[in-house]
A and B are shown apart, each in its own frame.
Chain A
Amino acid sequence: MHKQLMKGNEAIVKSAILAGCRGFYGYPITPASEIAEAAAQYFPQTGGVFVQAESEVAAINMLYGAAAAGIRAMTASSGPGISLMQEGISYMAGAELPCVIADITRGGPGLGNIAAEQSDYHQVVKGGGHGNYRTIVLAPHSVQEMADLTELAFELADRYRNPVVVLADGFIGQMMEPVEFPPRALEHEPPPWAVTGTAATRRSLVNSLHLNSDELEAHVRDLETKYRRAEQQETRAEAWLTGDAEIVLVGYGIVGRILKAVTAEARAAGLKVGLLRPVTLYPFPVRSFQKLARHAQIFLVVEMSNGQLLEDVKLALNGARPVEFLGRGGGNVPTHEEVLRRVYQLAGRVIDANEPEGERLAHV
């Protein structure tokens, strides 16, 4: 048995430590608290630091300090806590500090509720803090991906010297599935720019202040170049049964799993349905969408929000194909059955569209 049954929230912590993460700074919040609890247990045992901060504001600034000192460090929170962290995320992006932030989303706005929603998409993917910056965002849809994408998150954070968010929902965090870890732990060497309290790093400076307007503009352009490079090299998406798909279902996280079940059932009923699941939400897998748009007739975006991923899908397709939307909120999950009903409706339209005069659909 090479796999073990584990919660997604625990898998994140173990994967992080194996990836060389030695600092966890966090503040409890449902449904992410298991991450802090597992971190409190395992970080001190593995030579790392665990601090329960006085607030998410302090936690993200502690992350700033740990990253400045050249340590792989992470935090975890949920919507309201992520809102408080936006200040620090902006500073870290500005100072080009790597870190990993797990957002196990819940319902909002405000106190909302503690059930799973996907309504943090805008604040996480579009960058909820001030200034011209982006965060790299990875969206796992299984416990195995919670582990795999956490390790990738640390790699990308260092490669791009930028905060990386693992955006998962309460379901992916709380559920248990078999998971397998690499059989080794990585050692992380402090990067040369870090401030480590040694003669060699005495001239190092971690800073996001550029008083001179030309200097700040140049800095922002450098960041832009970095983001363009990530857009070229780091996009990831899972395409499933899309080869001949006329209807393409789109969703991430737990919704991606539901859409797999829907796709399988629709295929069994003879419908040409496929699934495109973005794994990187930023950089967004634009080319995967454009490629599918050549053959697919219609896209159906399914989200546990009021249509946030929807906007990126529309931008990616840029009007090439119609985009339909099915959203649930408040902690309600789009059921297999209701998505399937919608797929059957769309299939009717696609069949109409396949009639000679039905060309209209493709150009809406």
Chain B
Amino acid sequence: MSSEALMEYTVAHGRPKAFYERFERKDELQHQTHYCPGCGHGIVHKMLARAIDELGIQNQTILVGPVGCSVFTYYYFDVGNVQAAHGRAPAVATAIKRSRPQSMVISYQGDGDLSAIGSAEILHAANRGEHITVIFVNNAIYSMTGGQAAPTTLLGQKSTTTPQGRNAGREGYPLHVCELLATLEAPVYLERVGLGDNKQIAKASRAIRKALENQVKGFGFSLIEVLSPCPTIWKMSAVEAQRWVRDVMEKTYPLGVYRDRSKDAQSWSAPEEKPALQDIPKILGVAEANLPEGNAALIEHAGEIDLQVRIAGFGGQGVLLLGEILAEAGLDAGLEVSWLPSYGPEMRSGTSNCHVRLASQSIDSPLVTVPHVLVAMNEPSLRKFDLSVRPGGWVLYNGESFPVDCERPDVHVLARPFTHLADELGDARVSNMVMLGALLEISGVLPQTSVDDALHRLVRNPRWLALDQHALELGRTLAREAMQEACHEV
């Protein structure tokens, strides 16, 4: 051809730009793909590459490759490539799209990958309506591993793991992915196409382009299932295999549109404005401005403090909150503190307990096994922890009378019907605060200002706050009386 003739020559169907010129990531034969002659993947690749070209999204495209024959999509597509674990491509694609909303994310998967090991991932990505495009190539067999049965294998079809042919009684029925996903609300576009003849191929090409265009328009989840020939594993010629797609596969897997809401779909709005970096500590509530001043500067603690408390009762009695207010008040007063909920079988069975330490030195273990004070809000808790109380310590017990068999000569006891007393105050649910008042009075380590401030920080409702304050005062009075009695006895 002369150079003049060349100038007149226009390329009608050249290599799409979304393909590499040479497949340099391949070890050898870099001018051709690794697919077998007559395989559908090459055709589907070309359709996808063309669609990327036509939509002008090559730079934005991120292709997630599967495990299976199309594991090497990154050899061919000149786009951002991420290779995923078997079946997980929709999960990988989900996070890529959410992380980079401006990117166009394609999950390319075969039938073993998508409909067997990855059945959960595709179902939930579709159900969440992820803004991704899925190309699902169905050839009714595991080809790369040598022809084992897939969920999509046809009834009667022989494979290396269904040597007698697939039997519904043994292996169940072929899985219809488009039909299955069409039961979900979220998907925007689901279509099954075939590569059975040129007419089908032309239609498949349009479907793939549309599925990708939906993403460009911000419409949501689209999936195209492509019935695709595998002459090698099916042990057919390329022509026979193509005919088998049309004459046999199609009977089990009818072609057609299973969902198309692209006309009514709302375009996905861009993610909201991100907050400025300097505002983040404040949003998290950890900025200087979020932190209370505290009363540590005003307080002088006399001597070394080490208060170890165990608080126990039924769930709903406010055991954990009692401990939390105690710890918060300790922190407010400039002490080292720890609060540790009991974490054991009790968690679900209705009893709860926590360990609280307040100390002037740093706290070694937050576990309190030998408490100075036990707050037992019910009898089972008393029986469980009574013997653990340190000699010379206190037991605050919520009950009319202290069980005789729990009495110990070496600990002080304050037994009162705290729930009843709280009820008289206005609500039985503040019994924990009455007991906290008593505990504070007995321990004497925390100033009232710190307790008040802690209470204000943790109890927002004004009605409860007022009630809690009354309850604390009642508890202090009860403890003062008990301590005076103890002095008189001595």
Residues facing A in B364-385 (CB within 8 A) are: 364-367, 369-370
Q: Looking across the interface, which residue of chain B has its beta carbon closest to that of A331?
A: B344
**Which listed segment binds B: A228-236, A258-266, A279-287, A288-296?**
A258-266
A258 cross-chain contacts in B, Cβ below 8 A? 364-365, 367
What's the count of A-B pairs with C-beta under 8 Å? 244
Chain A interface, DSSP helix/strand/loop, else mixed: mixed
Residue of B nearest to A201 (CB): B80
Residues of B within 8 A of A53 (CB): 91, 124
Let me know if A197 and B61 touch, CB within 8 A: yes
Q: For residue A197, which residues in chain B have a CB less than 8 angstroms away from its CB? A: 59-62, 80, 96, 100, 102-105
Chain A residues within an 8 Å CB radius of B1: none
Over the window 342-382 of chain B, the binary record of Cβ atoms lying under 8 Å from chain A Cβ atoms (1 yes, 0 no) is 01110100000000000000011111011000000000000
CB-CB under 8 A from A195, the residues of chain B are 62, 80-82, 96
At the interface with chain B, which of A41-49, A118-126, A342-350? A41-49
176-210 of chain A: CB within 8 A of chain B: 176-178, 181, 183-185, 187, 195-199, 201-209
CB distance from B22 to the nearest CB of A (A): 14
Q: Are A46 and B343 in contact (CB under 8 A)?
A: no
B side interface size, CB within 8 A: 77
Q: Are A23 and B99 in contact (CB under 8 A)?
A: yes
- On chain B, the residues within 8 Å of A115 by CB distance are 343-345
Residues of chain B contacted by A315 (CB below 8 angstroms): none
Q: Which residues of B contact A176 (CB under 8 A)?
A: 324, 327, 338-340
B74 at the interface (CB under 8 A from A): yes
Which residues of chain B from 49 to 97 have any CB-CB distance to chain A below 8 Å in the complex?
Answer: 58-62, 64, 71, 74, 78-85, 88, 91-96
Residues in chain A near residue B324, CB distance under 8 A: 5, 176
Known: A65-B92, A207-B81. A51 touches B59 (CB 8 A): no
| A175/B341 contact (C-beta < 8 A), A45-B275, A45-B283, A185-B278 known | yes
Given A18-B281, A51-B94, A212-B27, do A64 and B84 touch, yes or no (CB 8 Å)?
Answer: yes
- Within 8 Å of chain B (Cβ to Cβ): is A69? yes
Chain B residues closer than 8 Å to A69, beta-carbon distance: 62, 95-96, 99-100, 103
Q: Are B286 and A177 in contact (CB under 8 A)?
A: no
B95 in contact with A46 (CB, 8 Å): no
B366 touches A177 (CB 8 A): yes
Task: Using C-beta atoms within 8 Å of the partner chain, give the interface range for chain A.
Answer: 35 or more
Q: Known A183-B287, A185-B277, A257-B365; judge A73-B80 contact (CB<8 A).
A: no
By Cβ-Cβ distance, the 4 closest A-B pairs, closest first, are A197-B103, A1-B294, A47-B274, A65-B95
Could you write out 22 A-B pairs with CB less than 8 Å apart? A5-B337, A14-B285, A14-B286, A45-B283, A53-B124, A57-B120, A58-B91, A61-B121, A63-B95, A65-B93, A66-B99, A69-B95, A69-B100, A175-B339, A178-B336, A195-B62, A197-B103, A198-B60, A206-B83, A209-B71, A257-B366, A261-B365
Which positions in B face A, CB cutoff 8 Å? 25, 27, 58-62, 64, 71, 74, 78-85, 88, 91-96, 98-100, 102-105, 120-121, 123-124, 128, 274-275, 277-278, 280-281, 283-288, 290-294, 296, 324, 327-328, 331-332, 336-341, 343-345, 347, 363-367, 369-370
